[in-house]
Structure 1
Amino acid sequence: MSSKIYFKKSQGFDMRRKLINLTTRLHHRIAPEHAKRVARKVLLTPARSNKAMEEPVGMVRNPIKTSEGMMMTYSLGEGPTWVLGHGWSGSARQFYSLMEHIAHSGYRALAFDNPAHGESEGQFGHLPGFVAAFDSILAQQESIAGVVAHSMGGAMVLESRHPLLQDKPVLLVAPVLNYTENLVSTVKLSGYSMKLFHGVVDDIAVQYQYPLESINPLERLNGRQAKAVIVHDKYDRFASFAYSELASENQHVTLIATEGLGHGRILQSEQLKNGFDLLTDK
């Protein structure tokens, strides 16, 4: 259900949207606490992909204990570590092709499944939980060479304040740099009760001391000094290319624009590997 909310971009009047709005508002009015519990399941439950993919030879799986529960990690290669973080309803498996490229380039690729994704623990997924799990994984590394992140994973990386990231390069793939605006607008377009949505979000904000209005990945990227490369398709339907263009006005940010790769296929592209090579001078 949540993927249909977050990734459906239909415009104009929609009877289904109208019905969702009426029923969720009525539910909230009649049974507010029950409505909020249902809303958590609807809004915070990602789709766990069960698509079979052949693992690269030499891949090492290792569950790591974090503040968000056990997170499954996937390591390939030897050398300085690049950490890879996926987006909403994604998994580390999306990075297999890039991980092989990273390993062949003389580095260790360390990917992980976010909370409630892939083979990691957790029932609900949200950005504060993503950041907490990511920080826990970084805390268990002696050092890192850089970070790769896709979609909502880009917001996760940019929102993190972990000291290991301070001067490290980042490779952002189809990042959602206008995270808060994008989240609110897509839920609103779905027809879901905004009062219920804000009730769920406010509970998370209190739990993690992380108010929604404080989240601003574009601002964080603008304030970084380390090199960044963005690989983004011009016609991406889920993450605004315009914000990546805006970010590329910074001297430390390089934009690689693609066409016809969309939001997901871009992860298997040669352009993405080229973006990695730009950051490692390969």
Structure 2
Amino acid sequence: MSVSGAGIAPPAAAANPAAAFYATPGARLAGALLRTLQRWSPALGTRLAMALFCTPLPGKRHARAKPVPAPWTARRHRFEDGTLATWQRSDVAPGAPKVLLVHGWAGDAQQWRVLGDRLAAAGFDPVLLDLPAHGRSDGRRANLPQWVRALFAVSAALGPWHAVVAHSLGGLAAAHALARGLPAVRLALVAVSPPPRLFLRWFAGVLGAGEPLAARMQAWFERHTGVPMHEFEAAWLGARLVQPALLLHDQDDRTAPLAGAERLAAAISGARLETTRELGHRRILADAGVLERLLAHVSAGR
């Protein structure tokens, strides 16, 4: 792994970064059905598209089957129509500064366990969160504003936070929550996702449905969640984030192209962007050098 400044140009992006999320046979079948519905009933086609867009693929079965070793223990929190799962170590000293670790779409809390162990060894109290419809939390579908609400719900129970460390779409949720006043001193974003307005265009493109579907999906999203999509854009977030922020991003990330992280880092006053190579979107979470930089950033504000 190598780390450099943000001035290096990003590699050529994949033809469509959304393709990796919707490459399963079931997703392809849904795409064929959606294209048919588009011709006969755009409204019904939009509802199907939103159902697919808000469904994590793959589902939670694999994450739930993975054993979680001691001293990590689970705790459940009431949230909307179900519960959220958080994980903490039972051997952390009382009063240790808390760090919230947030996964991305189709991920789960255990992706952050290695960093959690290192934070605990450094004297922090790491909290791993399974977001709605992921890991051992309830739900089959989720959306970004719901994730933001989940962060506030867990913060009311376990916060405030010394730091929030978040991956991919969880990074956008965390940034939006902090911009809305979530109590945290420091912020670290790893492989932060592009804004949802852009991902909708990619989604519609990979399913062969085009820009009209993306526009209808955006209108549906904003009408049903009450949150304008521009609030997840770099300019809106950057004007409201005051925490010292570190962004780590791989130049070969095909799911979340580097350009999005560059825009967000430029919009946040004093933010630092560091890049890696050949780690992609998920391997970056387990890289020793990345974990060292995250630990250093979290520890710097102690």
In the superposition, the TM-score normalised over structure 2's length comes to: 0.78
Q: 1:8 matched to which residue of 2?
A: 19
Matches within 5 A, 1:259-270: 259-270=277-288
Cα distance change, pair 200–180 in 1 and its aligned pair in 2 (3 A): closer
Q: 1:122 matched to which residue of 2?
A: 139
Q: 1:279 matched to which residue of 2?
A: 298
The 3-state SS of whatever aligns with 1:8 is helix
CA distance in 2 between counterparts of 1:187 and 1:34 reads 15
Could you list the runs of 5+ residues in structure 2 that have no partner in the other structure?
1-15, 21-26
Deviation at 1:53, TM superposition (A): 4.4
Of 183-192 and 19-28, more deviation after overlay is shown by: 19-28
% of aligned pairs identical?
Answer: 24
Cα distance change, pair 214–248 in 1 and its aligned pair in 2 (3 A): closer
Could you list the runs of 5+ residues in structure 1 that have no partner in the other structure?
10-16
Q: 1:206 matched to which residue of 2?
A: 223
Aligned residue pairs, count: 271
CA distance in 2 between counterparts of 1:245 and 1:197 reads 24
Q: What letter is aligned with 1:7?
A: A
Q: What letter is aligned with 1:84?
A: L
Q: 1:14 matched to which residue of 2?
A: none
Cα distance change, pair 220–55 in 1 and its aligned pair in 2 (3 A): same
1:140 equivalenced with 2:140 (yes/no)? no
CA contact (8 A) 2:200 2:217 kept: no
State which of 65, 69, 75 in structure 2 corresponds to 1:62.
Answer: 75
Deviation at 1:190, TM superposition (A): 3.0
Cα distance change, pair 177–24 in 1 and its aligned pair in 2 (3 A): closer
1:48 equivalenced with 2:59 (yes/no)? yes
Cα distance change, pair 107–131 in 1 and its aligned pair in 2 (3 A): same
In the superposition, the TM-score normalised over structure 1's length comes to: 0.83
CA distance in 2 between counterparts of 1:202 and 1:155 reads 20
Matches within 5 A, 1:81-100: 81-100=98-117
Deviation at 1:215, TM superposition (A): 2.5
Matches within 5 A, 1:99-110: 99-110=116-127
Deviation at 1:247, TM superposition (A): 4.0
Cα-to-partner distance string for 1:239-262 (whole Å, 9 max, x where unaligned): 121232344445521222111111
CA distance in 2 between counterparts of 1:276 and 1:68 reads 35
CA distance in 2 between counterparts of 1:40 and 1:243 reads 23
Cα distance change, pair 7–56 in 1 and its aligned pair in 2 (3 A): farther
CA distance in 1 between counterparts of 2:217 and 2:258 reads 29
State which of 266, 271, 276 in structure 2 corresponds to 1:253.
Answer: 271
Deviation at 1:28, TM superposition (A): 3.5
CA RMSD, aligned part only? 3.0
Deviation at 1:104, TM superposition (A): 0.9
